[in-house]
Structure 1
């Protein structure tokens, strides 16, 4: 099947032709991946005879899929220009991410709130990667509803929740940017991102 037709299933359709051209231009292996709870996408630089490799989680909404794809292509472009000399989300990467996002702004592909969050993120040197919470939250609004799944920040204090591996935690107070959570079985304390997705456990 034509790669653009495949990409249209995951991206806003008007973005698919350009991403298809990037795959060809950069001679990149582009993989649509299973969900990897800890990351949306991944870039691997050429290594031992393999070329550039990008993978993006299949279950992202179209806007999140596009932002993640551009994020990873910006890593590829930065590697081509600077090899390992540039920091992963440093000035060079930010410049390329901004430049590579421009055609999609011009096509008016993003809803206003997502576009604003991307621009704000790119103008904020303190935000080191796409773990930027404002951007994450704006993208998440366009997800299909997930029954029984909540983010840690939305849970009341002392609520119990479960991870995919079955471990159960109690949500405690917020410490700066993360939430202190106690694992019930071991009483060990962990710090969770506000936007970590968990399943509520009823007492």
Structure 2
């Protein structure tokens, strides 16, 4: 089942993943890159099976972590049929159970393993929600660009965010970065892990 996605995975993960997938009946698909999500799980497709899709542009460790995240959704659905919260305690238990063997088998590099252990203490909707894990995984991306994290900018610095124009950092809150749109004169809250292009004035 995982043969078609094996090129996207760490080679060391494949035997473990084969064992995991032996009792899981779902369709796996590699998707075009999506800005809104790294992967998704859909309970029932036209084939009567659940469907899992993972973005093709992820590095091998991000791809694996996202796949395990979505497989935990599948296992949770099989047991509870959508009667529990998507990222509630039931999902967290499934995710921790499915992920731990990969961490213990040193499938991930040391820095990713350490960040993953910390993430497992309270896993969120995606690895992007955990600043330390997201930044650690980004170190293994295929293409290195000149972007920076908005959390790394100082108050008053300006940056460009994709096609949304110029912004200025106003304040750093506990979980968000408050920024001002130069053009619209409106304030927006950014996730700390958002990648932006620094403007040198």
Shorter-chain TM-score: which interval?
0.7 to 0.9
Cα distance, 1:96–1:3 mapped onto 2, change above 3 Å: closer
Question: Any stretches of 5+ residues in structure 2 without a counterpart?
Answer: none
Selected match of 1:146 from 141, 144, 150: 144
What is the CA-CA distance between 1:166 and the residue it aligns to? 4.1
**Partner in structure 1 of residue 71 of structure 2:** 73
Stretches of 4+ aligned residues off by more than 6 angstroms: none
The DSSP-based 3-state class of the residue aligned with 2:170 is strand
- Helix, strand or coil at the partner of 2:73: helix
| Structure-2 change in CA distance of 1:175 and 1:8 (3 Å) | same
* Structure 1 position 21, deviation (Å): 6.0
Match of 2:106 in 1: 108
Alignment partners' CA distance in 2, 1:158 and 1:57: 35
Q: Which among 88, 91, 94 is matched to residue 93 of structure 1?
A: 91
Shift of 1:3: 4.6
Question: Residues 67-95 of structure 1, C-alpha deviation per residue, up to 9 Å, x if partnerless?
Answer: 11100100010000011112111111111
Give the Cα–Cα distance (whole angstroms) in 1 for the partners of residues 118 and 2 of structure 2.
32
2 CA distance for matches of 1:50 and 1:192? 39
Alignment match, 2:81: 83
Deviation at 1:123, TM superposition (A): 2.3
Give the number of equivalent residue pairs.
199
Q: 2:124 aligns with which of 128, 142, 149?
A: 128
2:9 aligns with one of 8, 11, 30: 11
SS at match of 2:5: helix
Question: Structure 1 unaligned runs (5+)?
Answer: none
Partner Cα distance (1:154, 1:142) in 2 = 19
TM-score using structure 2 length: 0.86
Give the alignment's TM-score, normalised by structure 1. Answer: 0.86
Q: Kindly tell me: are residues 149 and 106 of structure 1, through their superposed partners in 2, closer, same or farther at Cα, counting changes over 3 Å?
A: same
Match of 1:176 in 2: 174
